[in-house]
Structures are given as structure tokens and as C-alpha cells.
């Protein structure tokens, strides 16, 4: 029996400007979660850790971050756990690649354009990985890899997208499902997509483990690593393991159904979770009776979440205007009467234009600037 831990897309060193004051805290959280991954590998007594791309968010990561990574790999070495790393798109194996300058312990193998496989005789296993020297390339990640005859088991790594018509055709890093089926691998460890997904084909088990922590605001399905157990040829079992501390969710609110800002905040507050990154989208036709201010809503609810972001896509309704509602001596009253005169004398096409201008003008004079997109 062979046990392997698969992770990818950790993005150590990433900046999180959209998290504002929480960005630094979350950046450190990635390191904490990385240590949790190492703990999981040791506790599960695996023989090998696979990192299928984007361990680092950039090739310009040094100091504390690389020190933590080297210390983690040293812990694995002490437990006789090996590591295979495939550079990804963010940490591509180019001229200034971090993998050219950091000296990893002997238990770590980094795949390069020159090194595309590693044989572990004691495990009866060969691991394959095709590194590229650019963030953008059109070659297949597994095409041209020849399986060795020295090993019983074969595991591949690839950092790419799966070909799905109409979905990722603009991505240059494409892997066809037929390539997976014909690869001969017992397991294909995928990276690049940040949610846990199964793309097994034929006898080949192929999985995206997903990002251990959400990296973007629109990510669902992140937060896992994968424990792979190969019992025999054709008997490969895959178990996702939750390691992430944070999760992402969205909520869309039709403000046309709300009577007040308090109604909106109550819906959001019901999702309160200090480890939740929540994106709230306001849409629909808003009432003139209350003014929507996304920043005020965020400030009011900020302590209930790790981060809450409010996006206002609502539109204010332009209500019908009655002359008698506005005294003639007021600015709005004078405006209404001038526009009523123009509407009365206008042709049909201009009349509709003036009617909309009247409603818009009254809304603006009443202090509702959100009527303008």
C-alpha cells in the first residue's frame, strides 16, 4: 500500500489588497495552513507529498516565507517523507525562478524542463512532472512523458486546465480528457483550478485538490488537500481532507423587496461567521425611501465576519411626479412646473424624453444620486 498527500495552489507570499486591513493577517494564515498540511502528511504517515504548482504566488518570495517552507520540508525529511514539486504559473521555472536559488533539502525534488521524472525504488513508484519556463504555454503537460519500466506505480503532476468547450478555450494550458485516459498513470495530481474536482478518465484517477485556502473572492470549493491511497493497480482511493480555516460565500439581495437598510443588514447578519469571507450583491429596484451606502453596511457588519464586501448593483426607481406634491415657491416645485409645460407642448417622442427627465431631475434634487449609473 502506498499513501501520498496531494496539494497545490497554496500561493505563499500572496498580497490581498481586496481584504484591506485583513490582508496581512490572511497572508500569514497561508503559512499557518501550509504547516497544517505538513502536519497532515506526518499524521497520515504518507510516503510522499505532491505539490502540483503554485506553491509560491510569485518568484520574488524570500525571507520568512522561504524559511518556513524549508523548515517544513526538513520536518518531512526527519520522517522520511519525500516531496515532489511542479512549478506552476505564478512560480514558473523561468530565469529568475525561486526554484533556481533556494536550496531545498535532499528529500525534495523540483521538476524542471530537464528533470521530468523521479524514481523511488523503495516505493516501486515513479513520479512525473513537466515544468515550463513561462507563465503561458501551449504544450501539453503530460504529452511526451514516457512511463518507466522500473516501477509498478506511476503518478503524474500537471498544472493546467481541463479542456471544456466554451469554458476555458482561451487558456493556453489545456489538458484533454483523452490524454488523461491514455496516460497510463495510476493517479494524476492536478493543480491550477482552486476547487476540489474529479476528472478521472478510464482507469486513471485524476483530481484537482483545490487551494487549501480561498485565494480569490469568488472561490467556492477551496480548503482541501487530498490523501491518495494506492492499494494495488486499479485500486486507488481518494479522500479530500479539510485544512482551510476560511471559506467564501456569496449572497444576493433584491433590495426592491426590502423596506429599510435594517432589513438588508439582518439578512447578512444571519450568516455571521468570523471565518467567513462574504460577498454581498445588492440588486433590483431600490426604493427612494432609503439610501444605500455599501461602505456603511460593511462598517456595520464588519465585526461579524472575517471580511464582508458589499457590491451595489441596484437601480433606484424613478417615481411618477405629481405637481401638487411640490410647492411652487420651492426649487423642485419650479423645476416640476417648467418641465410640465415642456411636456404639454412636446411631440410624442420628446414627450417621453421630458417625462423621464422630470422624474430623474426630481430624484436628483431630492438627494438620490444613485439614480445615475
Phi-psi region of 288 (alpha: psi -120 to 50; beta: other; left: phi over 0): alpha
**What single DSSP character describes residue 201?**
B
Which residues, at least 6 apart from 90, have a Cβ–Cβ distance to it below 8 Å?
A: 11, 54, 56, 57, 58, 59, 135
Q: What is the pLDDT of residue 373?
A: 46
Residue with cell 529568475: 96
Which residues, at least 6 apart from 125, have a Cβ–Cβ distance to it below 8 Å?
A: 2, 48, 119, 151, 152, 153, 154, 155
Helix, strand, coil share of the chain (percent; to 5): 30, 25, 40
Q: Where are the beta strands (DSSP E) in the chain?
A: 2-7, 48-52, 82-86, 108-110, 117-120, 125-129, 153-159, 161-162, 174-175, 187-191, 197-198, 205-208, 224-232, 235-242, 247-254, 273-283, 285-286, 305-312, 315-316
CATH topology of domain 2-242: Purple Acid Phosphatase; chain A, domain 2 (3.60.21)
39-42, Cβ contacts within 8 angstroms, sequence gap of 24 or more:
40/5, 40/225, 40/227, 40/241, 40/243, 41/5, 41/76, 41/81, 42/75, 42/76, 42/79, 42/81
**Domain 247-316, CATH:** 3.30.110
Reduce the DSSP state of residue 99 to 3 states and report it.
Answer: helix
Q: What is this structure's pTM?
A: 0.81
Per-residue pLDDT of the chain (373 residues; tens, 9 = 90+): 999 999 999 999 999 888 888 899 999 999 999 999 999 999 999 999 999 999 999 999 878 999 999 999 999 999 999 999 999 999 999 999 999 999 999 999 999 999 999 999 999 999 999 998 765 555 677 877 889 999 999 999 999 999 877 665 555 678 889 999 999 999 999 999 999 999 999 999 999 999 999 988 767 789 999 999 999 999 999 999 999 999 988 999 998 788 888 999 999 999 999 999 999 999 887 765 667 888 999 999 999 999 999 998 887 655 567 777 778 888 888 888 888 888 888 887 788 788 778 877 877 776 655 544 4
What b/e readout covers 86-122, taking b as 16+ CB neighbours within 10 angstroms?
bbbbbbbbeeebbbeebebeebbbbbbeeebbbebee
Sign of torsion over alpha carbons 181, 187, 192, 194: positive
CB 120 within 8 A of CB 148: no
CB 227 within 8 A of CB 44: yes
CB 46 within 8 A of CB 231: no
Amino acid at each position: 500500500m502506498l499513501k501520498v498527500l496531494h496539494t497545490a495552489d497554496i500561493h505563499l507570499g500572496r498580497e490581498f489588497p481586496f481584504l484591506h486591513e485583513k490582508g496581512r493577517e490572511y497572508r500569514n494564515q497561508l503559512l499557518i495552513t501550509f504547516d497544517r498540511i505538513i502536519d497532515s502528511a506526518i499524521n497520515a504517515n504518507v510516503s510522499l507529498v505532491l505539490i502540483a504548482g503554485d506553491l509560491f504566488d510569485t518568484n520574488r518570495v524570500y525571507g520568512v516565507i522561504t524559511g518556513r517552507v524549508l523548515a517544513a520540508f526538513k520536518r518531512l525529511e526527519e520522517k522520511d517523507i519525500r516531496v515532489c514539486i511542479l512549478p506552476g504559473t505564478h512560480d514558473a521555472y523561468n530565469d529568475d525562478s525561486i526554484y533556481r536559488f533556494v536550496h531545498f533539502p535532499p528529500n525534495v525534488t523540483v521538476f524542471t524542463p530537464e528533470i521530468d521524472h523521479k524514481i523511488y525504488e523503495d516505493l516501486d513508484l515513479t513520479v512525473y512532472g513537466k515544468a515550463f519556463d513561462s507563465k503561458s504555454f501551449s504544450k501539453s503537460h503530460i504529452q511526451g512523458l514516457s512511463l518507466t519500466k522500473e516501477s509498478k506505480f506511476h503518478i503524474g503532476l500537471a498544472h493546467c486546465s481541463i479542456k471544456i468547450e466554451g469554458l476555458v478555450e482561451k487558456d493556453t494550458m489545456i489538458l484533454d480528457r483523452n490524454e488523461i485516459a491514455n496516460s497510463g498513470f495510476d493517479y494524476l495530481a492536478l493543480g491550477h483550478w482552486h476547487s476540489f474536482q474529479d476528472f478521472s478518465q478510464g482507469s486513471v484517477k485524476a483530481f484537482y485538490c483545490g487551494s487549501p485556502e480561498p485565494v480569490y473572492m469568488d472561490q467556492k470549493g477551496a480548503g482541501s488537500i487530498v490523501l491518495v491511497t494506492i492499494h494495488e493497480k486499479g485500486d486507488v482511493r481518494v479522500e479530500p481532507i479539510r485544512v482551510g480555516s476560511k471559506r467564501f460565500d456569496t449572497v444576493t439581495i433584491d433590495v426592491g423587496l426590502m423596506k429599510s437598510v435594517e432589513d438588508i443588514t439582518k439578512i447578512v447578519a444571519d450568516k455571521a461567521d468570523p471565518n467567513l469571507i462574504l460577498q454581498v450583491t445588492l440588486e433590483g429596484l431600490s426604493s427612494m425611501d432609503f439610501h444605500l451606502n455599501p461602505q456603511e453596511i460593511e462598517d456595520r457588519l464588519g465585526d461579524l465576519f472575517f471580511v464582508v464586501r458589499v457590491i451595489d448593483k441596484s437601480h433606484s426607481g424613478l417615481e411618477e411626479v405629481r405637481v401638487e406634491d411640490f410647492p411652487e415657491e420651492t426649487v423642485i416645485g419650479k423645476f416640476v412646473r417648467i418641465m410640465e409645460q415642456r411636456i404639454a407642448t412636446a411631440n410624442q417622442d420628446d414627450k417621453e424624453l421630458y417625462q423621464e427627465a422630470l422624474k430623474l431631475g426630481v430624484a436628483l434634487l431630492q438627494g438620490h444620486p444613485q439614480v445615475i449609473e
